[in-house]
Amino acid sequence: MALLDLDGLRCHVQRLAPLDGAPPAATAVLVHGLLTDSLASYYFTLGPVLAAAGVEVVMYDQRGHGRTARPPTGYRLDHFLDDLEALLDRLYLTGPVHLLGNSFGGTVAFGLAQRRPEQVLSILAIESEPATPAWAAKMERLLGWTEAQLAREESLAWVAEQQGAHKARLARAAGRLLAETSLARDLPASRVLSEAGIGAIDCPVLAVYGTESDLAEQADWLEGLLPACRSTLVPGQEHSVLVEAPEVVRELALCWLLENGAGLRGPAAGLRRPLPVSGGAVRVAGGAR
């Protein structure tokens, strides 16, 4: 574990070197989502698998989350982008990296690719979307509703009964984050991207959606905007694809990195199921096809 000072924000970072001790085949920065998410989601699903394949892996808790500091204000999207930029600079990652973003983490990845295109080799966006006016309006509704619900003890008791003690602890922590900070007000007020701004993101993008998620409806729209974007639909999944279907995500990530120039090592080097080369959403059942 490392705690780094990112322009005054104490940030919790985990950095995994390739397990074989050889120079990295690539560098992947894994960006988690909001509220109940943290770098732990990657640590127990994707991070070690990538390190075993020869990838240098950087995971960090975003501001207000996990073991990173929780300032009372400063939660617009640009603040999260500033943090990621500062992290890359602080770790001397001057060359381009692969960004893997889960949920809001993908929104951050799209934002960095628009802001610093020279720093991003590719994006794997899991149940994510760029920041648009529609996204901001949705964030306002969802964060406002979530803040109100998590302030009620009966809601937390329902989570404990229906989803278990671990989910209840995460929900309680999310409620404290919303109660103690300006996140629910700041994020919907973020600067958003125009369609032209989104279309300027020219790095390769793989967008992964659950077939039962409302975000899957944007697959054709995003492919139409981005010059190098494909979509993959994971059957039977809703928003929690990363934690509910980790084997699928692992294989998609490894195939994606291979396709985008990473000389993976170990068992991953023998993968022979490349992702489709044409546009259009592709369904995967047990892995990439």
Do 225 and 87 fall into the same domain?
yes
- Spell out a b/e string for 111-122, using b for 16 or more CB atoms within 10 Å of the CB, else e: bbbbbeeebbbb
CA dist 173 and 151 (Å) reads 11
pLDDT value of residue 3: 94
Instruction: Examine the fold and report which residue of 154, 189, 224 is the final residue of a domain before the chain moves on.
Output: 189
In a domain, 224, yes or no: yes
pLDDT digits (tens, 9 = 90+) for 116-149: 999 999 999 999 999 999 999 999 999 999 999 9
| 49 and 161 together in one domain | no
For the record, the structure tokens of 10 come out as 């104490």
Residues 8 and 123 in one domain: yes
Q: Indicate whether 288 belongs to any domain.
A: no
Query: Is position 209 within any domain?
Result: yes
Answer yes or no: do 45 and 102 share one domain: yes
- One domain, residues 177 and 241: no
Residue 163 backbone dihedrals phi, psi, to 5 degrees: -125, -5
Whole-number mean pLDDT of the chain? 92
Say if residue 28 is exposed, middle or buried (CB neighbours under 10 Å; 0-12, 13-18, 19+): buried
**Can you give the CATH number for the domain in which 27 is found?**
3.40.50.1820
Instruction: Give the Cα separation of 64 and 96 in Å (integer).
Output: 26
Assess whether 97 and 147 both reside in one domain.
no
Domain of 143?
133-189
**pTM for this entry:** 0.93
Q: What is the pLDDT of residues 2-36, one digit of tens each?
A: 999 999 999 999 999 999 999 999 999 999 999 99
Taking residues 43-48, report their average pLDDT: 94
Taking only Cα atoms into account, the Rg of the chain, rounded to an integer number of angstroms, comes to: 18
178, part of any domain: yes
- Is 289 a member of any domain? no
Q: Check if the beta carbon of residue 52 is closer than 8 Å to that of residue 268.
A: yes
For 76-105, the pLDDT digits (tens) are 999 999 999 999 999 999 889 999 999 999
Q: Are residues 77 and 198 in the same domain?
A: yes
The 8 Å CB, 24+ separation contacts for 192-198 are: 192/77, 192/131, 192/132, 192/133, 192/135, 192/136, 193/110, 193/111, 193/114, 193/130, 193/131, 193/132, 195/132, 195/225, 197/114, 198/110, 198/114, 198/130, 198/132, 198/225, 198/226
Same domain, 162 and 205: no
Instruction: Please state the domain count of the chain.
Output: 2
